[in-house]
Amino acid sequence: MEQKKVAKLDLGNGEQLIELPILSGSMGPDVIDIRKLHATSGMFTYDPGFLSTASSSSEITFIDGDKGILLYRGYPIEQLAEHCDFMEVCYLLMKGELPTNDQRDKFVKSINEHSMVHEQLIRFYAGFRRDAHPMAVTVGVVGALSAFYHEALDVSDASHRDLSAIHLIAKLPNITAMAYKYNRGHPFNYPCNHLSYAANFMHMMFAVPAEEYKPNPVLARALDRILILHADHEQNASTSTVRLAGSSGANPFACISAGIACLWGPAHGGANEACLNMLEEIGDESRIGKYIDRAKDSNDSFRLVGFGHRVYKNFDPRAKLMRETCHEVLNELGLQDDPLFKLAMKLEKIALEDEYFISRKLYPNVDFYSGIVQRALGIPSSMFTAIFATARTVGWVAQWSEMIADPAQKIGRPRQLYTGVTTRKVLPISERK
């Protein structure tokens, strides 16, 4: 961080202007450093929803929402999606550089060594209702990991942080696939380490003891791409949740569980499930107009799920790639005429041409397409957000580890603008009205 300029703030009280350093990163907007504002002025800034606030500095992911740019450690997402697999992207996010062949092999080996879960943990599942949502199960089971893998919970030790990160990345597919199998009433599958990360996940989801299962490489590659595109996304709500939880020194499993809980919301990672549910509810092309009208009606809380993004205001580069994958998968499976897919394409076209959506810069986001891809892969919509969580785990652990390693790190403690009742006196109960 470099300080080049100074901002001068007039508090309107006739006193001297307050000088605030302006800091520059390597790319993106400069920031006004207000860390000393309260000490010098007694005031806080007010920014609910963090619309204008950089909550941290980070070297991991860069987004330019206006230009539709997403970089992991400086590499454009388009190039990573084309040339790398998810394991290489995990290595990159965690270590800062793409791996050599040798480094990749060692990394994959360490992930494979930890892909199973403790047998005792498997008993947890029997405590959930059969119809429990996979995200409810995942939040619980991931939080419980700290009761099993407590040999490396000294968060100040980088080797402990790395080991916990490996545990989490390795076990998430297993944990979420078991949540699905439990719903289905199928036996759990142990991981098959000769398969790729994505193919192994498909094996744990879809294989049954009665039949041989061979993951289709085109579909495994599509799932791998979903994982790459969702691996990190800067300081979004769930990542900020992980950082805030971690800032107290909480263990990584608890922090990632908090991130998973946040991700579940329909305005965040729950959007792909909500989008598919919405498409099913629309049901027929003839009903699209009605839903578009509802989305535009300011008195109706309905939103067209899968459209709009807090950061991308021109296009979401992940959505472009996912759209490509969507067509590849539907071709591979001969599903081009699938009614739900045709409905989605019609909705996309209508919304892209509608003045309401154009003027508000509401474009299809990655979840609009990823839901369709996952449905084509045979994944039920209740699993979509769990897959997003599996992908995002590497981003969360990378961001968490970066925060802990920062010597300037402090516990996160936002302040507030109090609007409640002013000081008053407690009356004895007999005198209260």
Which of 104, 186, 310, 346: binder of ligand CMC (CB under 6 A)? 310
67 counts as binding ligand CMC under rule CB under 6 A: no
Q: How far is CA 287 from CA 273, 283, 348, in A?
A: 20, 7, 14
290 counts as binding ligand CMC under rule CB under 6 A: no
Q: What SS3 class is residue 3?
A: strand
Q: How far is CA 404 from CA 175, 272, 410, in A?
A: 26, 31, 9
Q: How far apart are CA 204 and CA 208, in angstroms?
A: 9
Which of 169, 362, 389, 397: binder of ligand CMC (CB under 6 A)? 362
Which of 304, 322, 376, 377: binder of ligand CMC (CB under 6 A)? 304
Q: Which residues within the stretch 225-244 sit at the binding site for ligand CMC (CB under 6 A)?
A: 233, 236
Say which of 309, 338, 354, 406 is annotated catalytic. Answer: 309
The 249-278 contact track toward ligand CMC, x by CB under 6 A, reads ------------------xxx-x-------
305 counts as binding ligand CMC under rule CB under 6 A: yes
Choose the binding region for ligand CMC from 109-117, 207-215, 250-258, 299-307 (rule: CB under 6 A): 299-307
Tally Cβ neighbours within 10 Å of residue 98: 17
Q: How far apart are CA 135 and CA 262, in angstroms?
A: 11
Choose the binding region for ligand CMC from 11-19, 65-73, 359-367, 373-381 (rule: CB under 6 A): 359-367
Beta bridge partners of 3: 23
Backbone angles phi, psi at 3, to 5 degrees: -100, 120
Please report how close the Cβ of residue 7 comes to ligand CMC at its closest, in angstroms. Answer: 25
Contact status, residue 68 vs residue 312, Cβ threshold 8 Å: yes
88 counts as binding ligand CMC under rule CB under 6 A: no
Q: How far apart are CA 149 and CA 166, in angstroms?
A: 11
Please report how close the Cβ of residue 301 comes to ligand CMC at its closest, in angstroms. Answer: 9
Active-site residue flag, 309:
yes
Please report how close the Cβ of residue 295 comes to ligand CMC at its closest, in angstroms. Answer: 4
303 counts as binding ligand CMC under rule CB under 6 A: yes
User: Which helix (H) or strand (E) covers residue 342, if one does?
Assistant: helix 339-353
Give 299's DSSP letter: T
User: Which helix (H) or strand (E) covers residue 195, if one does?
Assistant: none
Which of 206, 307, 341, 363: binder of ligand CMC (CB under 6 A)? 307
Choose the binding region for ligand CMC from 18-26, 108-116, 180-188, 308-316 (rule: CB under 6 A): 308-316
Which amino acid is residue 273, in one-letter code?
E
Q: How far apart are CA 103 and CA 98, in angstroms?
A: 9
389 counts as binding ligand CMC under rule CB under 6 A: no
Contact status, residue 130 vs residue 382, Cβ threshold 8 Å: no
| Nearest residue relative to ligand CMC (C-beta) | 308
Active-site residue flag, 186:
no
Tokens of 429: 């109960």
- Give the residues lining the site for ligand CMC (CB under 6 A): 233, 236, 267-269, 271, 295, 303-310, 360, 362, 365, 367
Please identify every residue annotated as catalytic: 309, 367
